[in-house]
Amino acid sequence: MTQPFLPFAKPTIDEATIADVAAVLRSGWITSGPKVQAFEKTLSDYFGGRPVRTFNSGTCTMEIALRIAGIGPGDEVITTPISWVATANVILEVGATPVFADIDPVTRNIDLDKVEAAITPRTRAIIPVYLSGLPVDMDRLYRIANKHGLRIVEDAAQAIGSTWKGRRIGAFGDLVSFSFQANKNITCSEGGCLVLNNAHEARLAEKYRLQGVTRSGMDGLEVDVLGGKFNMTDIAAAIGLGQFAHIEQVTRRRRDLAARYFDLFGPDFEAQTGAQLPPCEMVNSNWHMFQLVLPARIKRADFMTRMMEMQIGIGYHYPAIHLLALYRERGYREGICPVAEGVGRQIVSLPMFATMQDSDVDRAVNAVKSVLS
C-alpha cells in the first residue's frame, strides 16, 4: 500500500484563526487596521518592547532597513551567498553593491573571518542570514560592526523563536527583519516585520511602507520621502496573531523533531555516506529547516527524484546567489566563494513542520539512507 505523500513543509491554521479571519472579512475593514496594530503590539512585547512595524513581505523589510540606515549608491554591503536571492536583491534595489563573503562549512552561515577580510572604506553594512534559524556568533558580529562603524540588517527571516545566549533574536541588535511567508515557523500567508531601534526609525519605516505619506488633522497630507506600497492587511495580521499564540509550542516541537532526526541518522551516518548533517544545536536554533549536504558522488536532482518517488517531499535552500545570471552579468564569478558554491550545489532540505509525527521523521530518514546506499 502506497504511503501518503509527506510534504517538505505544511502550514497549520487552526479553526480559531480561520474564524478570526472570517470576522475580519465580515467587518468591512480588511486592509491595515486594528489587527495590524494588535499584531505589532504583540510582536513588540515579544521582542522586549522594541518598536516593530509589519509589512507585506520579509523582503521589503530588508530594503526599508537599508534605506533607514542611509545605504545607497557607492556603498558596499557584505552578505552571504547562501540565502534566498532577496537578501542580495535588496542591496541592488537601493543602488548599493553586494559583497559576498564565503560561508562556514559547518554552520553554513556567513564566515565572520571572511566578513572582516571583505571590509573596505566603502563598506556601510552587513546582512547576516541565520540559515535554518541558526544565528551566527552574535557577540562577534556586533564587535565587528562596532569596530568599523557599520550598520547590521539581520536577515532573520527564518529565525523567529531562535535565541542567542538566552536572548531572543530580535530583542537586541540593530535592524532585524523577519518573514512570515507560508513555509515559515509562524506565517501570515505572506508578510514580515522589522524590529527597529527607536521611534524615529519606526516613523520612517511607516513612511517607506506607504508612499512616504504623513497625515495630519482632517485633511492634511504630506510626502517627504519616496515610499512604496508595502503595508500588511488585517487579514494577514489576523492569521499572524493566531499563529503567534502557539510560537513556543511550535519551537519546542521543531526541536524535538530535529533531535529525532539526529538520533535516527546516528553517529556513523556521515562517515558511512559522506553526507553532512547540520550542526546539532538544540538551544539557539528554532529548526526552521533540517538540511543535509549530499556527498559529491550524488547528483542532487537524482536524489530529489528518488525521494519524491518514495513520497517524501524535498527542497533545496539555496543555490549560491552570485552564480545566478543577474549576478554573473554584474561580474560575479565562480570561485569567489568556493565553500558556498559546493554547498549550494548539494544542499537539500528534509520535511520539517510542527504537525509532523515521529513516524514521519522515521520515513524521511529511512528514505535518505535507502537512496544514499
| Whether the bond into 318 is cis, omega within 30 of 0 | yes
Q: Which of 35, 114, 184, 207 is catalytic?
A: 184
Least Cα distance to 114 among 334, 341, 336 occurs for: 336
> Do residues 60 and 277 lie in contact, with contact meaning Cβ atoms separated by under 8 Å?
no
Query: Residue 138: CB partners within 8 Å, gap ≥ 6?
Result: 164, 165, 172, 173
E strand or H helix at 240, and its extent? Answer: helix 234-244
Query: Which candidate, 58, 69, 66, 278, places its Cα nearest to that of 159?
Result: 58
Cell numbers representing residue 52 in the block: 516593530
* Phi/psi at 103 (5° precision): -100, 160
| Residues 301 and 309: beta-carbon distance below 8 Å | no
Active site residue 184: yes
Catalytic annotation, residues: 184
